[in-house]
Structure formats: C-alpha cells, structure tokens
Structure 1
C-alpha cells in the first residue's frame, strides 16, 4: 500500500465515519477501527523490507543481533501502543488511552535497560 492509497483510504473513512456519527455513533467507531486495521495491515507489507534494511545496517557496523531484535521489539511496542491508544481516544476513552501509552513507555524502558547496562559496561571498560 502506498502513502497515497493510505491517505485516500484514511480521508474517505473519516468522511464516512462522520456521516454515520450523526445517526449511530458506534458505526463511526467501527468504521474507524476497520480502516485503521486495513491501513495497519498495509504497513505490514513494508515491514519485511524495514527489518531487512535494519539487519543490513547492523551487519555493516558489526552490531550484535540482540540489539537489533530489541530495537525492532521497541518499534513494535510503540506502534501497537500508539495504534490502540488512538483507537481508544477516538472512541472517547482518554483515560484508557493514557494507560496504554504509559504501559507502552514502561515496556520500552524495560527493554532498553539491558542495552543501557551494556553501554555503561563499555564506558566503564574505556575508563579503566
């Protein structure tokens, strides 16, 4: 899916959802969720190329594959957290959206701690 297609689908879906919100508000939410999932699955088609390029970059700079995997996990967590948070906000549940965002941030923090410790060990090794 190209950016143009995603934009057209998004704008058309937003206009359709606005039309349905005046009659039955829940239909607008369902349309919003369905189109968001459609665009999400369109993005998944490009994910393989992104992963391949990140692995190639990791090979050029001789980076440990564990760090690349962690980076991709962080990317996935942030995307899923943002996606689900926006759906909750669209449905009118800002409190739940805020909790999802906080959980996503904490999950990324937990994933980054081993990398931070490895960085501190490397700095300690240089200073010794």
Structure 2
C-alpha cells in the first residue's frame, strides 16, 4: 500500500471510530486496533527492502554481521513497543503503555551492552 492509501484508510477509520464513540465506544477501539494491525502488516512487508539495503551497506563497509543483526532486532523492538504502546494509549490504559515503553527501552539497552563492552575494549587497546 502507498502512503496515500494508508493515510486515507487511517482518516476513514478515525471518522468511523468517532461515529461509534457516543454509543458503543468499544467498537471505536476495535476499529482502531484493526486499522493499526493493517498498517503494521503493511510496514512489515516493506521491511525486506530495508533489510537488503542494510546488508549491502554492511558488506560495503565490512561491518560485523552480528552488529547489523543486533541493530535490526533493536529496530524491531522499538517498532513493536511503539505500536503496542499506542494501542494501549488509545484504549485508555496509559499505565500499561508506559510499562511497555520502559520494558522496551531496557531490552534495547541490554541488547546494546555487548557493543558497549566491545567499544570500551577497543578504546582500552588504543590507550595501552
């Protein structure tokens, strides 16, 4: 789907959800979740292009493939966490959304620790 199609679909979904807000508010939440999932799967289908480009960049500048894989996992964690958090906020559960955001930030930090340790080790080698 193109950006224009996603944008129009989002606007149509929001207008439908607003119509249900006065009577059956849970239908608005269901519409929001359905549209969010549709956009999510549209983005996931486009990720193959991004992965191919990142691999080409990694081959060109001779990056360790483990670091590229780790970077892609971090990107995935951030996207899924933002997606989940947004749905929770739309449903009115800001506390759960905040907990998801905190957990994802910590998960990304934990994944980045080996990179930080390798960087510190490299700096230590240069200094000695």
* TM bin (shorter chain): over 0.9
Aligned length: 128
Once the two structures are superposed, residues 61-89 of structure 1 have per-residue CA deviations (whole angstroms, 9 ceiling, x without a partner) of 10000000000000000000000000000
Indicate the residue corresponding to 2:39 in structure 1: 39
Q: Return the alpha-carbon distance in structure 1 between the equivalents of residues 6 and 58 of structure 2.
A: 30
> Helix, strand or coil: the match of 1:92?
coil
Aligned to 1:55: 55
Q: Taking structure 2 as the reference length, what is the TM-score of the superposition?
A: 0.97
Please identify runs of 4+ aligned residues in structure 1 that moved more than 3 A. none
Mark the runs of 5 or more structure 1 residues left unpaired by the alignment: none
Distance 2:124 2:11 in 1: 52
- Residue equivalent to 1:84: 84
Deviation at 1:121, TM superposition (A): 1.1
Counterpart of 1:95 in structure 2 is: 95
